[in-house]
Amino acid sequence: MQNKLLKNKPVNLEEQAIGVMDSGVGGLSVLQHIHRLLPHEHLAYVADSQYAPYGSLSPAQITERCIAIADFLIAHGVKALVVACNTATAASIQLMREQYSLPIIGMEPAVKPAALASQNGVVGVLATVGTLKSAQFAALLANYGQDIQVHTQGCIGLVECIERGELDTTKTKTLLKQYCQPLLDAGADTVVLGCTHYPFVRQSIQDIVGDDVSVIDTGEAVAKHLHNTLQEQSLLTTSVGVPSTTVWSNSQVANADTVIQQLWGNGHTTIKPLE
């Protein structure tokens, strides 16, 4: 059954929150871009950390999680959904758009802008195995990778390090060097961050690949797309007050709240358990 949220638009729908969801805390990098571009919007975020990374789940399991979280956010009154996870977007966004009538914005690795930015035609992609194996990523390569060399690197274990807040540890830096080196060996002059968790270790990646290599994050482009979509549907808030941010998490990590505050880095935030 389709959600009728926008077909029977309630009064003051534009003042409801923007819902953002991810397999964990990585989507907070996208939330930061949204907050910078839309500073007066209320934000509602779900970190489904108990099931991170989604790449270890089947497409059916990922979709089950996405539908459950979308239903949760819609029940809490959101006017739009951002699926701030490349793997979830690839597995589930088409079905979500069929099931719900509110705007749904997804992610995709920035192969097109990387192809345009590359000077030597060699692009590297850091991503989860689930994203790299998806049909969506294959379609991106077919559409935008024909005139360039694209070298992909699955980053097993990196999401888990970031979920624990281990951004600057020896283990995380060792993994980053291990995953970046094949791209450098291939001659990549542009590296795509194909997972929303990876911007939180962007500086370490830049240090490893060097200043001559461009590192591309898609979060800003997603925020701009969201802004344009809300504007087209007259859903931008007219409020100029201090907005609220609510984060729900089902993380099993002992310091989960501290990690969220560390990564999000903004005040006026309420963190709640996701049952």
Which positions are annotated as active-site residues? Answer: 85, 195
Give SS3 for 102: coil
CB 123 within 8 A of CB 111: yes
CB 186 within 8 A of CB 149: yes
Give the phi and the psi of residue 83 in degrees, each rounded to 5: -90, 90
Q: What is the CA radius of gyration of the chain?
A: 18
Query: 81: how many CB neighbours lie within 10 A of its CB?
Result: 26
CB 13 within 8 A of CB 90: no
Buried b (16+ CB within 10 A) or exposed e, 112-132: ebbbeebeeebbbbbbbbbbb
Buried b (16+ CB within 10 A) or exposed e, 57-73: bebeebbebbeebbebb
**What single-letter amino acid sits at 108?**
E
